Every structure is written in structure tokens, then in C-alpha cells.
Structure 1
Amino acid sequence: MTTPVDVEDCIVPRTPPLTATLLALLALTACGRPPELREPPAGTEGPRPTASATPSAATPTMPATPSAPAVPSAPTAPAPDPAATPCRGAPSGSRIVTLLRGSADVLPRNVRVTLRTGPLCAEGWHYTVLAVAGHEELQVVTRGRTPTLVTAGTDVCGVEVRATAPAGIRTLACDGIPGA
């Protein structure tokens, strides 16, 4: 049979606040549940003590092991979509014009074309604006290491651009060039 623990056995001497708190929690958990809330050993006779249902008579119990207080974590912000920046070497403006005059068959060979903006790159996508003699500006969206035409025209904010282009390209294609 276990012997009841005297409350004085659980008192911790005065020490610095954090140490005292940890020692108090450790001492209280070592004391365990009060005898009146413990299960009687098998084979003992007599009525089982029960805890009162009123909050004032209830004896609080401490957890079996002390735990450190939960430290709230700062919410993490999602990484911003990269802005479109000037492409570093590839593709060049002349490569985009060659694509439009060649396999894409968007520009005739005899029309004069001047690079107005770009190419600007973001995550493997490219945005270019060309001044075409005798016509409106031509916006071009391409993608890939060897550029593949996604769309070209005066309004390039189509479904594919809105749904899959990175934010930097989508902003240029759908909202226009900032400061232009």
C-alpha cells in the first residue's frame, strides 16, 4: 500500500523564477495523484472515494511530465511571384523576331520591326513588345529555352497566359507595361 504524501514534501526551496517553476512542476509531478483519487489496491474492502462534482471541491492534477509553454510561430508569407526582368542573353529580341517571321508565320519578311520592350523573362517565360511599321504594336509571349510562341497580337492576355504564366509575365501581358 502506498503512503499518503504530505504537502510539505512537495514544497521547493526559493530559487530563481524559471528554475523554481521547473523544479515545482517536477516536484508536483513526482507527488502524483492525491491518495483520495487513486484506485484502491485489489482485494481491499470498503467504499471507493469519489471526487465531488463541484468545482470548489475538485483537486486539480498536474500532467505527468512537465511541458514547455507553446511558443506561437509567426505566420509565413508565401514567396512572392518573381517579377519579369530583362532576359540575360537568351532569348534575344532578334531571336523572337526570327521566330515570328519563321515557323510561327506571324510577320512577313519585308515588314520593318523594331524592338520596343524586352524580352523580359520570368520562370522560363518571355514577354516582348515590337513596333511594326504601318501596324499597331505587337505583343509577344513565348516560353522555353528555345522560345516557343504562346501568343502574339495586340491583346495577349488569353486563357493560357492568365492560367499558367508567372505573375511577372501575366502582369505585363494583362495589365500593360508599367510606366509605358
Structure 2
Amino acid sequence: MPRTPPLTATLLALLALTACGRPPELREPPATTGAPRPSASATPSNATPTAPATATPSAPAAPTAPAPDPAATPCRGTPSGDRIVALLRGSAGVLPRNVRVTVRTGPLCAEGWHYTVLAVAGHEELQAVTRGRGKLTLVTAGTDVCGVEVRATAPPGIRTLACDGVPGA
């Protein structure tokens, strides 16, 4: 009979051992809460069978405040389009004083943020995102106002307008 090399014999022995194991019916199931574990013994139990545990209903959740409206809606008088234009012409320095500007869309408001689209004579349309209830702060202005701050912190209604375009325009 030919002699089997030691490495081959070792591999065959390991293969035989790894293929064996505890049969599935004798393995313990993973731990579950509330359910009894079956016994691994082969002898039947004389104990009375018990009904499976049932979950008790949890207490109803406490009412929560309604979520803010995610849509941007026309601002109720403040800020006005003129106030947005004044900010862009003044301290923000975005618009020169001698260019004709008309408000095309907005301002639209959501949670203290504002979105406005301006038609600027001789130039591309200008979008502006501002915030604040008393003193206005310019967040961004330009032809693409979907910047990091708008994407990360603006309310959904403003973010949708600034990043996906003006609906119906």
C-alpha cells in the first residue's frame, strides 16, 4: 500500500473533523427573551407544557408637538422684497446701487429663513438666502445658492427651493 505524505494525512484528518459537529437538533438556539429553551436531552419530559410568553402592550406614546411645516410660504410682510434688496445693495455689497432690480419670487419664509429670486437688469437672475426675524443676515446670494450652510442647516422648504429650483418657475 502506498504511503500517504504526512501533510495530506493531516489535511484529511482536519477536513473530517471540521465537517463534523453537533447536529442542528442538539444545538442550543440563540437566547430569546420570554421563551423557554428546549432541553438537549433525548428523554421526554413529564412536565406540563407551558403557553408561549406573550408581550404586554406598551403604554401609548406621549403626544408630541406637531412638526414645523417643511414648506416655504410667502412671508407675512416681513421681510419685504425691498428689505432684501436693501441688504444686498448695502452692507452685503452684492448689488451696485445703479442697477435696476425687481423681485421675481418671494421672499418665501420657513423657520426664520428667507428665499428670494431677483431679476437684475443686464445680468443673470440672482437668488438670495437670508435669515433672521429682526436684523436680516445674508446667508448666500448668487446664481447657485445651494452651499454647505444651506444644505446643512436650512429648513427643508428653503433647502428645496435653493437646491432644487423654484417650483413653477
Shared fold (TM-score, shorter chain, > 0.5): yes
Which residue pairs with 1:29 in the alignment? none
Distance 2:49 2:70 in 1: 55
**Is residue 147 of structure 2 the alignment partner of residue 161 of structure 1?**
no
Corresponding residue to 1:94 among 70, 82, 91: 82
Structure 1 pair 55–102 and aligned structure 2 pair: CA distance change class (3 A) = farther
TM-score by length of 1: 0.60
TM-score by length of 2: 0.64
Aligned-pair identity (%): 84
Q: Partner of 2:87: helix, strand, or coil?
A: helix
Matched to 2:168, the amino acid is: G
Shift of 1:147: 1.3
Which residue pairs with 1:148 in the alignment? 137
**Is residue 102 of structure 2 the alignment partner of residue 114 of structure 1?**
yes
State which structure, 1 or 2, has the greater radius of gyration over its C-alpha atoms. 1
Gaps of at least 5 residues in structure 1 are 1-52
Corresponding residue to 1:126 among 114, 122, 125: 114
Aligned length: 124
Structure 1 pair 55–152 and aligned structure 2 pair: CA distance change class (3 A) = farther
Which structure 2 residues correspond to residues 1-180 of structure 1 after superposition, within 5 A?
Answer: 56-59=45-48, 69-70=56-57, 79=67, 82-145=70-133, 146-180=135-169
* Moved segments of 4+, more than 4 Å: 53-56, 71-74, 78-81
Structure 1 pair 114–55 and aligned structure 2 pair: CA distance change class (3 A) = farther
